[in-house]
Structure 1
Amino acid sequence: MLFLSATIALLVIFAGCATAPSRINDVCAVFEQKDGWFDNWYGAASKTEREYGVPVPILMATIRKESGYDAYSRPPRTRLLGFIPWKRPSSAYGYSQALDGTWARYKRETGKFTADRNNFSDAVNFVGWYHSQSHEMNGIELNDAYHLYLAYYFGHSAFARGDWKNNAGMQKVARNTAEMAYSYGTQMQACGQQ
């Protein structure tokens, strides 16, 4: 009976750690919900900002937009004949929604061979790395959340070609992400995180 009680207690603890924060539009609440002995999200985001120069609010807004802070997020499956679950439209996975090939490139180029897309510290570092690549390859300023998000979504080559210029829907998503980054920055100042 003691073993069963201990097992249930551990499952409850780990299930709580694996869930996405509930108040995702307030970055201070996100940090409070996920900060502590098991997962220090603010520390991981701050470390990434120091490493790549991308501000924490932009890192967090990118992850918010991509996965809603869900470690196991994937694109929904398409439906065969309208009702049979079928393939996913891409290999995007985890907090950062990184594609398989891009994640493999990140691990190879950074030497972080044990990095995992459903680990927040690894995912936020990936986002910082990718945004810094956008800066180097496409000249996007590291504080330009709008264009960084467009390059993140379309990829470096498609961004450089201007594929995003005729996509009003994704421009709107990028504007929303930039507004979220601005809002997160304001919130962080109010709660003393910046």
Structure 2
Amino acid sequence: MREEESFPIREEENSQLLEWVSCFRRNAKGGVSARSKTEVFRAVAETLGAMANSSGGTVLLGAAAEEEMRGVFGDERERRLFIDLLREALLPPVFFRVVSQELQGKTLLRFTVSPSPVIHTQKNGETRLRVGPRNIPLTKERLAVLREDRAETWHEREILPRSSWADLDPDLVQEFMSRLGHRGNAERVLHRPYGLIEYLENRPVLTRAAVYLFARDP
């Protein structure tokens, strides 16, 4: 783990690409109590798997939107064990990056996962897909369709980690924007809704489909 300055804005709610996971819960009377480590583990593992099966995303552990920041549990050794166990929580294992940061005297952990070329299933047999702010369980029929679709489309969705926005021809990008009637920031539009650009360690990287469509001439 290493420190990194950029964390989501606290007011940002759970979404397709972001999940806040608190180590505490608030009861009906407003009191606060610690969640069990098992419950927290399941919440993080489930969401990482669901995001990997969809468009990737970030799990921020140790805080909740619009709630007091309380941080994560345990010392450094316990947190490392927690992370190691997460790597084995799904089949096949999910690759993720994790960074820690001290904010307001509390330790937060940020997990980032990219879209995966394979489908990841929890050890209890459930397979989930991130849809908006929810992790939706898949039936056997929907799982079969997802696997077939993933096999057919993954090549175009593959992320090229050494690529950058500068690899694209700005004229081709602008032509695309104009033809579809889009205005504003082209990078943001290509990121969502089109999924042609993703972010790796806070920098834009291209999918193979973006290169096919907009790459500069060699």
**Which category of TM-score, normalised to the shorter sequence, fits these structures?**
under 0.3
What TM-score does the superposition give when structure 2 sets the normalisation length? Answer: 0.24
Q: Tell me which of the two structures has the higher relative contact order, counting C-alpha pairs closer than 8 angstroms and 6 or more residues apart.
A: 1
Structure ranking higher in strand proportion: 2
What TM-score does the superposition give when structure 1 sets the normalisation length? Answer: 0.26
